Amino acid sequence: ETADTLLEMISVVVPLLNEERSLETLYDEIANALEPLDHDFEVVFVDDGSTDGSLAVLSRLHDELPNIVVVHLRRNFGKAAALQAGFLEARGEIVVTIDADLQDDPAEIPKLLAKLDEGFDLVSGWKTKRRDPLSRRIPSRIFNSVTGWVSGLRLHDLNCGLKAYRAEVVRGLRIYGELHRFIPVLAHYRGFRVGELPV
């Protein structure tokens, strides 16, 4: 075997609700970011009960490209359940999550992977330049600091959709409801090393 085939496979999990306009661009940007790395990768799109043309776009992409997995949820279950469904399908030793609305830049993924290599089990993106209004930034700051204070895991940005994990971390998760906001805390409690990286 060549060294290439020994590199860990990356599964990118994308939860989505009514994102027909961004899906193709998102796939292209993920592929541009990961192709230079020599890892095999797959993109697991989880359609969380979309009512727009998302599923049709995904079916077309699935027909055209070999490394796309589409999970279709019968109704809208929420982001945590969508992530959970994607984690169950993901085959990679490394799992990356990214939002479908292009708020996170796939070009940042290699930096997260490099930080995993430094010895972390979960690396969470930290959005330093948020485009959200104050009415969202202030509650988010309070959430991050209260959760950090209660849990002992101090992160700046628990809510960032862009994260990289060793597969072991997601294999043990059972998330639903609003629990996606607490994934780093749940991992921290289980003894995994959690880090963050400005994106």
Nearest partner of 12 among 53, 44, 57, judged by Cα: 44
How many Cα atoms occupy the beta-carbon half-sphere of 108 within 13 Å? 24
Q: Smallest distance, Å, CB 54 to ligand UDP? A: 9
Is residue 197 within 8 Å of 127, Cβ to Cβ? Answer: no
101 contacts ligand UDP (rule: CB under 6 A): yes
**Cβ closest to ligand UDP, residue 15 vs residue 106:** 15
Is residue 158 within 8 Å of 181, Cβ to Cβ? Answer: yes
Residues 103-162 that bind ligand UDP (CB under 6 A): 103, 159, 161
17 contacts ligand UDP (rule: CB under 6 A): yes
19 contacts ligand UDP (rule: CB under 6 A): yes
99 contacts ligand UDP (rule: CB under 6 A): yes
18 contacts Mg ion (rule: CB under 5 A): no
29 contacts ligand UDP (rule: CB under 6 A): no
DSSP letters spanning 105-141: -GGGHHHHHHHHHTT-SEEEEE-SS--S-HHHHHHHH
**Cβ closest to Mg ion, residue 116 vs residue 162:** 162
Dihedral of the alpha carbons of 193, 68, 176, 72, in degrees to the nearest 10: 180
C-alpha to C-alpha distance for 64 and 72, rounded to whole angstroms: 18
Contact with ligand UDP (CB under 6 A) among 57, 78, 87, 166: 78
What phi, psi does 165 have (nearest 5°)? -135, 150
The b-or-e profile of 84-93 (16+ CB within 10 A means b, else e) is: bbbbeebebe
Partner from Mg ion, ligand UDP, none binding residue 78, C-beta < 5-8 Å depending on class: ligand UDP
Total of chain residues touching ligand UDP, rule CB under 6 A: 15
Contact with ligand UDP (CB under 6 A) among 10, 23, 33, 100: 100
Contact with Mg ion (CB under 5 A) among 62, 101, 102, 115: 101
List residues binding ligand UDP (CB under 6 A): 15-17, 19, 48, 76, 78-79, 82, 99-101, 103, 159, 161
